[in-house]
Amino acid sequence: MPALTLNPGFVPIIAALFILAMPRTLRSPMIVVTALAAFWLLLDHEFGAASAMAQMGLPVVLLNLDELNRIFGIALLIALIAIGIYSGARRNRYEDAAILLLAGSAVSALFVGDLISFVAALALGGLAAAWVTFASPLEGASRAGARLLIWHGLEGLLFLVGVAFHLSAGAQASVVGRLDVTSIGGAFIFAALMIRVGAPMAHVWLKDVVSHASPTGAAALSAFTTMLGVYALARLFPSEPLLVWIGGAMMVIGAFYAVAEDDLRRAAAYGVTVQTGICTALVGLGTPLALAAAEGHGFATILSFVALQLMLGAVLERHGSVLVSHLAGVGRTMPLSAILLLGCGLAVAATPGLALFASQSASLEASAQWDLRWLWALIWVTPAVMLVALLLRPSLAAYTPSGDVKPIREAPFSMLLGAGLALFLCFAVGLAPRWLFDLMPAEISFQPFVLDRVTPQFQLLGAAGVAYLGLRMVRAAPRERGVSLLDIDALYRGPLTAAGRWAGVLGLRMYGAWQSWTRRSSQSAAKSLETLANACDRPYGSSGTAAVTFVCLGAVLLVMFLVR
């Protein structure tokens, strides 16, 4: 077997080249077969480094399998299988190739063992993510893809600078291992990973591209982007105290916008930001239980939000909108999709019996420290926020009677099957979480289904639901209407963009003025030199020549006299 095929992520990358030439009926099975082949390569290899080679005196490890990257790899490949089944309902070979390339680059980045290959895989993934966005037929997708290229370009630049400084420490420093954030190289790599996970000030890129991507592309972007940053933080910066505060800020920002956002796909993207913030804070804690909880929570987040994005995409495909203010009557026209959407809402709300509940319980246990009670409180209240934002609001809107009588237009079967598979796996992991805990690097004996954990969770979700419904009944809750929320990207696209445009225009005008002045100055100097040359050619042709001649002769005689 060729050495390059040993990394499971290389299989989707190679398949992305062939899928461009395949007919529509074969592309969806090809994605599923590709994911299964990558699964076989993942499960067939034993733990340890393989396929190592030396390039320019630096070690290049194409495959390094351990318990940490295995759990993330399994989650990403499961998501690829569900997306592959889901993609059979539409015709877009370019998006299929882009999704395979995105998935392959993400899985490859998980299993490489050196920083150079890791950064190369992330750069390829950034280009593939932009390609997924560009392939969307929705309005504004091209501009969103261009903005994503800028974000990933900045991320890649920070990675390159950080790796360059890090490699100056020695050849063996290219091997992936723990880095020091106080060093120059570590600080640049840390900053690049903050863009990848969507830290505050950089959290807007995910909701931007998800809201403009196609139904299939949105799920792929949710699965194969931010959680790769969580894995990198767990690998490179475990027990970094700064991550605790960054994760807490991500939870607060994401929760606020998830509850207030009218576009459900954007709200789900903010929900991913909330869950990514939990994982980031747990990585910052760095205890064995916290790291295990972060990895398990990342696994459950990938499954839950892929299922939710797939169902939202199905509603978008048939209904034409996923705005909460436009969902009236969807429960009647798309009954099966509405039921599956309710199930996905329960999944992301960490309802007992689903995947996120098990990892949520472990996260609460890991953060149960007196000095971190604020973090524990944030993690504890997260399910209530997700319940209101992604279950109650869309459910009440979907089952609100509409004035028009419309026929039933259910989502295509392949879309329902792909989303149903992801939701089924959420139930399977949630009801039997022991095998998920067995995949974690740290051996923990944790039982989520005990009365002291299940009862408070039901009480929290029930209280949140009753409180929200009560506020709706007395009309104290805000009405669902089409609003456009302003985030930090409004500053990026507004004043900063205008300032950059103004600075560019000013710079061009200054450059033009400088060129005009230099042109006039050079012309004036040329004319002066021409006049002087003409005067030398005719020394007695102009007035005042006698005086000049007399002065020159006097000067020569004076010099001769002084020399004697």
The answer to whether the Cα torsion of 198, 203, 204, 207 is positive or negative is positive
Select the more confidently predicted residue: 7 or 381.
381
* H or E stretch at 49: strand 48-55
In this prediction, residue 85 carries a pLDDT of 94
* β-pair partners for 65: 48
Tens digits of residue pLDDT in 47-77: 666 666 655 556 777 888 888 888 999 999 9
Secondary structure letter of residue 46 according to DSSP: P
Asked if pLDDT for residue 34 goes beyond 90, the answer is yes
In this prediction, residue 418 carries a pLDDT of 93
Average pLDDT over residues 547-551: 69
Tens digits of residue pLDDT in 167-177: 887 645 566 77
* H or E stretch at 468: helix 451-473
Tens digits of residue pLDDT in 280-329: 999 999 888 899 899 999 999 999 999 999 999 999 988 888 988 888 88
Asked if pLDDT for residue 4 goes beyond 50, the answer is no
Tens digits of residue pLDDT in 104-125: 999 999 998 888 889 999 999 9
Asked if pLDDT for residue 6 goes beyond 90, the answer is no
In this prediction, residue 375 carries a pLDDT of 93
* H or E stretch at 54: strand 48-55
Reduce the DSSP state of residue 401 to 3 states and report it: coil
Q: How far apart are CA 14 and CA 373, in angstroms?
A: 48
In this prediction, residue 2 carries a pLDDT of 42
pTM for the model stands at 0.86
In this prediction, residue 377 carries a pLDDT of 93
Average pLDDT over residues 212-240: 92
- pLDDT confidence tier of residue 475, bands split at 50, 70 and 90: confident
Q: How far apart are CA 58 and CA 41, in angstroms?
A: 26
pLDDT mean across residues, the chain: 86
In this prediction, residue 542 carries a pLDDT of 56
